[in-house]
A and B are shown apart, each in its own frame.
Chain A
Amino acid sequence: MNTLLFYDFSGLALLAIGLHGLIRSSHPLRKILAANLMTSGVFLIMISGARGTGQTMIDPVPHAMVLTGIVVSVSTTAVALVLVCLVQETTNRALLWQKRKREKWGRTDG
């Protein structure tokens, strides 16, 4: 049994979950999280394909592309987050509405 297939399917599942979350969730922060999940899934599929089967040679080109992709995804995430903050500031409409319940982790809000 080829263990690499696990990671292929895992990446596929992450991609699907991310896409589902992107469509389903309404909060912008959650949408950005979902998009990040999608990129993780794509990276997983690429790297998992790069190891190949049977051969000892690793394909370094997808590795380099994924490295590039990680940096690109963090920069898009940063811009998107700033835009979300600006949406709240300019529309004067709170994006975090509900008071959060007291969490075990110690986050209380207000």
Chain B
Amino acid sequence: MGLLHNLGTVCILLGIPFFISGTIGLLRFPDIYTRLHALTKADNVGLGFVVLGLSLQADGWHTVARLLLIWLLVLIASSASCHLVARAALRKKIEPWSRP
């Protein structure tokens, strides 16, 4: 129990840098496409680590199943919304950023 709990904590801590880098990317990247890239890529891995850590700390397979379902749903939703936002941006004829 103690070992699993600590392992879970380590996993959650491992997830945090991904969220931070994703947020920095969102704030610092030049245009909408690169920002989407930063958000979805980094956050999905970060969320994966957090879900993994929480599953290790969970007290039953019910909770683990629900956590995994949440992770899966977030993956689907974020990739789909990323696609939709990028598509809408393309339709509005927003040029992808290129190094000046």
| Minimum CB distance partner of B90 in chain A | A106
Interface of A is mostly: loop
Q: Number of A-B pairs whose CB atoms are under 8 Å?
A: 13
B92 touches A104 (CB 8 A): no
B22-39 contact mask (Cβ, 8 Å, vs A): 1 or 0? 000000000110000000
Interface size for A (C-beta < 8 A) is: 5
* Nearest CB of chain B from residue A71's CB, rounded to whole Å: 24
B88 within 8 A of A: yes
Q: Is the CB of B32 within 8 A of A105?
A: yes
Bound-complex Cα distance A106 to B84 (A): 12
Interface positions of A from 93 to 110, Cβ below 8 Å from B: 104-108
Residue numbers in A under 8 Å from B94 (CB-CB): 106, 108
10 new A-B contacts at CB < 8 Å, known A104-B32, A106-B92, A106-B94: A104-B31, A105-B32, A106-B32, A106-B85, A106-B88, A106-B89, A107-B92, A108-B92, A108-B93, A108-B94
